[in-house]
């Protein structure tokens, strides 16, 4: 049985549909009634629970389960903090996996995860990784860059902006490098792990075949949408001040201070990472866009 925590997210939703199409039996953790109903209608066994509440996880796993832990947040809201979700939530799920003696544990981390990072997101992802690695069960960790595909939040936010803005606003100069990977390529990689988890007991960077600046990512997306517009750089200092003010008054600001700082540093790995480790060539950013945004 494949157990998925985080089945209602962008990656989780694609993974559930992909695995069901391959004939796999799935058991998914869900919190909301809407998610429980949606998954049940697909023929998935659903367990009501929350990784941040340890008592809801007791007894949900079995020795033959393959655990896929995808739960993560990109911004903090109320009690859903990076520490609570990434660290405490992972601690709770790992503890239950150890109790059950599951056959393998997969964790979705993030490219750039580092315990000494200034970013709360990257710091807590690294702390969660450590808990997985220190467990007494076999594990695999993916560190993906931006994952793009139908209904991904990153692409959708930029597309919405491009539809209504006469120019392309860029925080700073937009020179930081990123390495977007298409969701279908991510799925090909996880499929190989599921087929032979013992061959993938390591940490893998999951990245596309190109190093692209944030500016080129946004401009390429604009081109593929047929929304060619001039770009306009907004000083990063001004963006930070404005964002810090908005964070005080809005429950969900357009961008957070943590996210702005991530746009100031490169987030890349070797361009041949997937071909070396998984035996195939991932598609380019523009090719991926042509597959799903039109």
How does pLDDT run across 156-166, given as a tens digit for each residue?
888 877 777 77
Lowest-pLDDT range of 11-15, 84-88, 217-221:
217-221
Decide if pLDDT at 208 tops 90. Answer: yes
What's the pLDDT at 147? Answer: 95
What mean pLDDT is predicted for residues 189-206?
94
Confidence of residue 275 (pLDDT cuts 50, 70, 90): very high
Find the mean pLDDT for residues 239-259.
70
> Could you tell me which CATH number the domain at 151-179+209-269+280-294 has?
3.90.25.10
CA gap 124, 136 in Å, rounded? 21
- pLDDT grade, residue 246 (50/70/90)? low
* % of the chain with per-residue pLDDT over 90: 60
pLDDT of 260 reads 67
pLDDT of residue 230 exceeding 90: no
In the chain, which segments carry CATH 3.40.50.720? 2-144
Fold of 2-144: Rossmann fold (3.40.50)
Confidence of residue 249 (pLDDT cuts 50, 70, 90): low
pLDDT score for 253: 67
- The residues of the chain that CATH labels 3.90.25.10 are 151-179+209-269+280-294
| Res 223: pLDDT | 83
Q: How confident is the model at residue 172 (pLDDT cuts 50, 70, 90)?
A: confident
Average per-residue pLDDT for the chain: 89
User: Does the structure show a pLDDT above 70 at 270?
Assistant: yes
Determine the angle formed by the axes of helices 153-164 and 214-225, rounding to 10 degrees: 70
154 confidence band (pLDDT: 50, 70, 90): confident
Contact 248, 147 (CB under 8 A): no
């Amino acid at each position: 049985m494949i157990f998925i925590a985080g089945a209602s997210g962008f990656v989780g939703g694609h993974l559930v549909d992909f695995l069901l199409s391959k004939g796999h039996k799935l058991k998914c953790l869900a919190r909301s009634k809407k998610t429980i109903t949606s998954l049940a209608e697909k023929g998935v066994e659903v367990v009501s629970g929350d990784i941040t509440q340890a008592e809801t996880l007791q007894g949900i796993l079995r020795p033959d389960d393959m655990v896929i832990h995808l739960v993560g947040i990109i911004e903090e809201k109320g009690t859903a903090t990076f520490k609570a979700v990434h660290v405490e939530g992972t601690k709770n799920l790992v503890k239950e996996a150890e109790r059950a003696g599951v056959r393998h544990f997969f964790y979705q981390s993030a490219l750039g995860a580092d315990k000494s990072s200034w970013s709360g997101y990257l710091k807590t992802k690294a702390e969660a990784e450590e808990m997985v690695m220190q467990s007494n069960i076999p594990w695999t960790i993916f560190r993906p860059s931006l994952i793009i595909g139908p209904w991904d939040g990153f692409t959708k936010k930029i597309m919405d902006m491009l539809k209504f803005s006469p120019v392309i606003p860029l925080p700073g100069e937009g020179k930081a490098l990123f390495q977007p990977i298409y969701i279908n390529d991510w799925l090909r990689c996880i499929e190989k792990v599921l087929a032979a988890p013992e061959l993938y007991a390591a940490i893998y960077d999951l990245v596309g075949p190109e190093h692209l600046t944030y500016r080129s990512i946004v401009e390429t997306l604009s081109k593929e949408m047929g929304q060619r517009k001039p770009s306009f750089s907004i000083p990063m200092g001004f963006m930070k001040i404005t964002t810090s003010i908005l964070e005080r008054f809005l429950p969900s600001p357009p961008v957070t201070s943590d996210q702005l700082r991530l746009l100031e540093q490169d987030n890349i790995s070797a361009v041949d990472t997937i071909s070396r480790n998984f035996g195939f060539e991932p598609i380019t950013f523009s090719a991926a866009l042509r597959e799903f945004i039109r």
